[in-house]
Amino acid sequence: MTGHEWWRGAVVYQIYPRSFADSNGDGIGDLAGITAHLDHVASLGVDCVWLSPFFTSPMKDFGYDVSDYRDVDPVFGTLADFDALIARAHALGLRVIIDQVYSHSSDRHAWFVESRASRDNPKADWYVWADPKADGSPPNNWQSVFGGPAWQWDGRRGQYYLHNFLAEQPDLNFHNPEVIEAALDTARFWLDRGVDGFRLDAINFAAHDAALRDNPPAPDTGGKRTRSSDFQLPTYTRNQPDLPEFFERLRGVLDGYGERFTVAEVVGRSPEKEMHEYTAPGRLSSAYGFNFLYADRLTPALVRDAMAKWPEAEGGWPSWAFENHDAPRAVSRWMAAEHRTAFARVKMLLLLCLRGNPFLYQGEELGLTQVEIGFEDLQDPEAIATWPLTLGRDGARTPMPWVAEAPNAGFSTGKPWLPLGADHPAMAVDRQQGDAESMLNLTRRLIALRKARPELVTGPLVVTRADDAVLVFERGGLRCAFNLGAEPVAWDGDGEILVAVNGAGLDMLPGYSGIVVGA
């Protein structure tokens, strides 16, 4: 990949540390386990690894509640383990990006402990504090993403503090210059240890309306609303106008370390305006699209419309994922059981043909399905609170299967923190390794094709057909065609077949098939 930034079009592999590989038998994945299995990641041909949080944390939200931004939680290892991981990844030609959680910290972070102690201590204004209304109720109507008011009463200060997520995740005050400096210093700490960039978690929550104005009600679109936050528009709790200035300052820090990659998680119903704004020149590299992660169907129209929001002429560079640690596995979300094997193959081809950065979630290369987790085994606080209305996140966070016949499929010698899927040992890495037609080896071939054809990395994307089942688009001189339905459909292919999945040909696309044709 030459002639452009290393990250533009790079394939990124997400690792959820708790569930990737356990090196010490405590049932929880760790950094040493990741390092021991980086050869597998490198063998896929991906360019970069994204590590979900491994920082010191009480684990109320499994690492997204950070109590020390500059250390490793003992359950995952030590800073020395992290340094060894970086060294091994770089030796294998893999870049590494890590999460940065600037929106909020844990309530056990030393900053918050000091902030809540009084109204006049040095960190009193590092978090978002507000007086109650005259009747003692919260300052305004803002609602938490996890349900209920976004304000928590604190008797020590006689004030409420803001938490857009759990009450144990107080929001940092990005109107305070000292907080900005602390965030930038944290970035420098990890850049000095060799990371190649950051994923910025829930970054559009990182600032709030200083006037604390009420959010307006959201129109009722007829969909299911399981959270109180679904009933209002986040006008004053997300996407505030001072955020781009922070991105420019962060970019200034990053540029001092050479070419680094930043991808923003921008949460919202229609966040494209902010995504483009945040990735304007001099700001962030890319934004992580949610178009597919919570869709109940993968359709040609969905793909067409998502691509149309990132026209080449307007600049900006998107990142796409079909699966991650927060969304149910796509093969289970989109497909009945009898078609999942075929669908996993065609969706992988589609993801790797899109313009932007494809993000693969651990186990996606194996075709892993969503696991049904019984209430007694749930760990996800959101799933517990909304049981049984939502699938929750645990079913996509189950352990990675490495060795089919080993205890716990080779993930751990101890009891895993979440149960393995009953069908997952049969999909284990060792089972698929020697099968030339396995999902694992198909993924390797498709990534190799993408890297061999610059058109698939940085070329334009023009949709030429998007009907009920068939999607056809051009990437430079290549034509990519997909049948996302069950019935065979004719199409007018012509040229050299570079890859065909599930029997696709130049004149016919069987159900759940795809093909890439060169001139």
> What are the catalytic residues?
201, 265
User: What do you get for the CA distance between the two ends of the chain, in Å?
Assistant: 21
Q: State the Cα–Cα distance between residues 421 and 372, nearest whole angstrom.
A: 8
Task: Say which residues have a Cβ less than 8 Å from residue 131's Cβ, sequence separation at least 6.
Answer: 139, 158, 159, 160
Which uninterrupted H or E stretch holds 68? strand 68-72
The single residue listed with the structure tokens 């200083």 is 210
Integer angstrom CA distances of residue 80 from 32, 227, 486: 10, 41, 51
Is the alpha carbon torsion for 487, 488, 490, 495 positive or negative?
positive
Which uninterrupted H or E stretch holds 99? strand 95-100
Which uninterrupted H or E stretch holds 91? helix 79-91
Q: State the Cα–Cα distance between residues 207 and 243, nearest whole angstrom.
A: 7
Nearest 10 degrees: CA dihedral of 399, 405, 410, 415?
70
CA R_g for the chain: 23
Mapping DSSP onto H, E and C, the string for 211-236 reads CCCCCCECCCCCCCCCCHHHHECCCC
Task: Say which residues have a Cβ less than 8 Å from residue 262's Cβ, sequence separation at least 6.
Answer: 197, 198, 199, 200, 250, 251, 254, 284, 285, 286
Tell me which residue of 438, 450, 372, 367 sits closest to 401, measured CA to CA: 367
Q: State the Cα–Cα distance between residues 134 and 70, nearest whole angstrom.
A: 40
Q: State the Cα–Cα distance between residues 420 and 472, nearest whole angstrom.
A: 37
Token pair of 5, please? 């930034």
Per DSSP bridges, beta strands 508-509 and 478-483 are unpaired
Q: What DSSP letter does each residue of 442-500 carry, written as one string?
A: HHHHHHHHHHH-HHHHH--EEEEEE-SSEEEEEETTEEEEEE-SSS-EE----SEEEEE
Task: Say which residues have a Cβ less than 8 Å from residue 372's Cβ, sequence separation at least 6.
Answer: 395
7 φ/ψ angles, rounded to the nearest 5 degrees: -85, -15
Tell me which residue of 73, 127, 131 sits closest to 103, measured CA to CA: 127
475 beta partners: 461, 478
456 φ/ψ angles, rounded to the nearest 5 degrees: -80, -15
Integer angstrom CA distances of residue 430 from 342, 365, 409, 494: 20, 13, 10, 38
